Chain A
């Protein structure tokens, strides 16, 4: 009867320990009580002084603060904080602006003051999905007047451009028997059998160079002609890879002599003393597709005034110069202070082209999806 009457210490103890383990795996309960820390843990070392110092939360994409080569983020934070009595905190959600759209869609409060790194695609997505949008009308922040014409992609003026890139071809002169490979000068030239299998491009979804290049072909061939053009490109063995990194890897390994990239390519090449012959720039049809990046202040920002001051700070001539150099892009303003040799390696196209917000808002989804279907069907 002993076992029926008494519970055994040994057994009970042993399993109590295990039950503890099982409780851990059932962390659902304890998990759900974990404090929401999405944007606040970024305060990092500054949480202690948060009581006295206002905190400005700037959301951006990872490479802006954390690229392995150079990124403007650390310089901006240091400079801004040294001048303003504020703590600048970066938030870098992996899904970028979609993260905030998603929050708004789900009715969850947005814990950031400003966003840096907006493009026209993002703006269209925001306006498509959110009736009230995400961003405030920032109005006349100082320096906005100096922004180059043609870069303002928001007709409602909510977004302030801070830099721009131009998407172009980069080619490798050494990749022919006599070392004189030259990229064609026009879109039509890409269809020559001479260039069969010579071009690497990127998936328009998830790659800004890929998207810009697709839009550039639409600009060149028209909404009615671009699909035929792409059919011929595909017949000429163009390679559309997942993203810029994988296509540039293949390009660097000389899998193909041409890649869709940025016209600032030589800045990097020069910085690393690479053979510039392998980093030649070609603006097809003498055009570069402009890819301006913008910033704005979230509606309901905790510190809207500080956020506007931040925008003004970003447009200052010396800051514009730093951003351009550190982000390896062109400044958005005409007054940026740049070293003289900047233009030597950062090439601007004879003509910058782009679609307007309105044209894109009405068509970009259809254009992209039609392209996806055609390209994947072959």
Chain B
């Protein structure tokens, strides 16, 4: 009896092992399937429900909406042309502002460097209204900048409601992105390559140009591409700081969707997406050709921010850094400080905690149907964590799949970047149709809203960042490392977890930070999917608290800043330790 029982038990164990083994050996395929399902469910299908309006009108297929957009001088020149122009300028400005930051962060040692690097991602999560408030307070006629200029006896500047205002605001959002990815690349430049160049007679400038620059270019290119794609679809900040005469494509998509003119909205969105994705495709073709040297580089030592010797070169370098710090102060620090100041200012301009008291009060007495601060913070953090759990594996998986060489790789890769390229307004409408309203199957309507749907939507928006941070590093890994692991008995997934991921940990952590930031800052999808539930997040709360008085919204915004800053520092501190030893 007992023997048979043990027999049964061991057979059962064998069966479980067999199933587990099957799952393990097909884990990548299963993961890819799951990723595909999520993408289709919360992105491709919902977006398709909107895009179809561009080619099907009143049940009949037509190309009329697309043709009318593509033959309209107004749309092509005034709108798409201008949108691309401002996106180009914004990209140039973001790169120009971001690169020196990367240089300082990668090449100099100073107290708080790591924290500063963690915080560079902060602008990413800022609701546009907060940025608008900060910018008006900083760059307005009576803003801080002009006050300083006046005090110095210098002429004042008028920046608001002009193209430069938009460009600077876009740089505010995107220069940190450029700095971020470039810093990572800079830190992985092998010192011995530079030393070799120097020993061969290259001047420091020449060594930089010949050795460092080529290794930075791919990172700068990814930063620039993402910046262009983002600024191409920029919307609220353009109208808030530039005005309607500087309207972009997205402004018109919004207008048409508001007026339920779906065919035209969809046609505009399709053209917008095609342009963004084409650019992404070109970038990915370029990235595919950049396969730099392998792993195990010895990073250059960082220099102290304080000059060790007083030479003209050393002083010049420090002077340049000081100059850059002043620009950073004006573009990043003062606007953020202005937001904080606004949140602490009462109606007569006095310092006051009344807006924070409002938050406390709302938390204590708010009704169930009102937005309360603590649940918003809690939801943001939970969704952020959920996005990490879902989006990071998705992004890593996509990176693994697309670093393999196959025909059309760049195309698949570009399509996987689509969540960044499609108008947020279109995604919002698509989610409303596809998930909130759901699909009718056998007489029951299947819908998806609330936390799970929000996390899925955030993960879809976030995973391309993980992929873009991880894929180039994975591509540089020696395939024999994985083959060695596998011949030692590791399954493909095991080799990924034990060998590849620890070796590209820097990319995974950077991608995770971006993913978290995307989740925290996301608005369009969240507000649609949180409908009628208590799943609102911090940016939603900021928008809700906007009223005639800015105080409550800015107080909530500052809470958002504080919570997010803390999260980033934690993510990077925790993530930084993960490199060695694997999981």
Chain A interface (Cβ < 8 Å from any Cβ of B): 3, 6-9, 11-16, 18-19, 21-42, 44-45, 62-63, 65-69, 73-74, 77, 89-95, 98-99, 101-103, 106, 108, 125, 128-129, 203, 205-206, 234, 239-243, 245-246, 248-250, 252-255, 268, 272-274, 365, 368, 372-373, 375-378
Contact A69 B549 (CB under 8 A): yes
**B239, A26: Cβ atoms under 8 Å?**
no
B247 touches A274 (CB 8 A): no
A6 and B428 alpha carbons, distance in the complex (Å): 50
Interface centre among B21, B35, B390, B531 (most CB of A within 10 A): B531
B288 sits at the interface (CB 8 A): no
A68/B390 in contact, CB under 8 A: no
Q: Whole-angstrom distance between the alpha carbons of A103 and B531 in the complex?
A: 13
Tell whether, in the assembled complex, residue B347 and residue A376 are in contact, meaning their CB atoms are under 8 Å apart. no
- Chain A minimum-CB-distance residue to B547: A68
B293 at interface by CB-CB < 8 Å: no
In the complex, the chain B residue whose C-beta lies closest to that of A328 is B548
In the assembled complex, the Cα of A240 lies from the Cα of B246 at a distance in Å of 10
Answer whether A125 and B259 are a contact pair too, CB < 8 Å, given A27-B452, A36-B438, A68-B552.
yes
Task: Report the stretch among B297-305, B366-374, B573-581 that lies at the interface.
Answer: B366-374
Among B132-140, B184-192, B209-217, B274-282, the stretch that binds chain A is B132-140
Nearest B-chain residue to A65, judged by Cβ: B369
B18 touches A93 (CB 8 A): no
Distance A108 CA – B440 CA, assembled complex (angstroms): 9
Q: State how many angstroms separate the Cβ of A267 from the closest Cβ of chain B.
A: 10
Tell me, yes or no, whether B219 is within 8 Å of chain A by CB.
Answer: no
Q: CB-defined interface of B26-37 with A at 8 Å, one 1/0 digit per residue?
A: 010011011101
Q: Give the distance in Å from the alpha carbon of A250 to the alpha carbon of B447 in the complex.
A: 42
Contact present for A377 and B449 (CB under 8 Å): no
Interface size class of B (residues with CB under 8 A): 35 or more
Task: Beyond the given A25-B393, A42-B369, please list 11 additional residue pairs across the A-B interface where CB-CB is below 8 A.
Answer: A11-B490, A15-B24, A19-B24, A26-B38, A32-B438, A37-B449, A94-B531, A95-B528, A239-B161, A242-B238, A375-B247
Q: CA–CA, A376 to B20, complex, Å?
A: 61
Contacts of A242 in B (CB 8 A): 236, 238-240
Inter-subunit contact A26/B33 (CB<8 Å): yes
Is B407 positioned at the interface, with any CB of A under 8 Å from its CB? Answer: no
Q: Total number of A-B contacts with CB less than 8 angstroms?
A: 275
CA of A6 to CA of B18, assembled, Å: 9
Q: In chain B, residues 132-165, which have Cβ atoms closer than 8 Å to a Cβ of chain A?
A: 132-133, 136-137, 140-143, 160-161
Q: Considering the complex, give the chain A residue whose CB is closest to the CB of B248.
A: A376
28 contacts between A and B (CB under 8 A): A7-B17, A7-B18, A11-B491, A12-B24, A24-B389, A25-B34, A26-B33, A28-B41, A34-B449, A36-B449, A41-B450, A65-B369, A99-B432, A203-B244, A205-B255, A206-B254, A239-B161, A242-B240, A246-B240, A250-B136, A255-B140, A255-B142, A268-B548, A268-B549, A272-B347, A272-B348, A368-B255, A375-B247
Q: Which of B136, B236, B371, B393 contacts A255 (CB 8 A)?
A: B136
* Interface positions of B (Cβ within 8 A of A): 17-18, 20-21, 23-24, 27, 30-31, 33-35, 37-38, 40-42, 74, 78-79, 129, 132-133, 136-137, 140-143, 160-161, 236, 238-241, 243-245, 247, 251-252, 254-255, 258-261, 347-348, 358, 362, 367-371, 389-390, 393-394, 428-429, 432-433, 435-438, 445-450, 452-453, 455-456, 459, 489-491, 493-494, 497, 527-528, 531-534, 544-553
Closest beta carbon of chain A to B391's beta carbon, Å:
8
Closest-CB distance, A295 to chain B (whole angstroms): 17
Query: Contact: B449 with A38, CB < 8 Å?
Result: yes
Smallest CB gap from A207: residue in B:
B239
The CA-CA distance from A14 to B453 in the complex, in Å, is 28
Given A22-B393, A205-B259: A67 and B547 interface contact (C-beta under 8 Å): yes
The distance from the CB of B295 to the nearest CB of chain A, in whole angstroms, is 24
A376 to B133, CA, bound (A): 24
Q: What is the minimal beta-carbon distance from A176 to any residue of chain B, in angstroms?
A: 14
How far apart are the CA atoms of A78 and B192 in the complex, in Å? 74
B489:A3 contact, CB within 8 angstroms:
yes
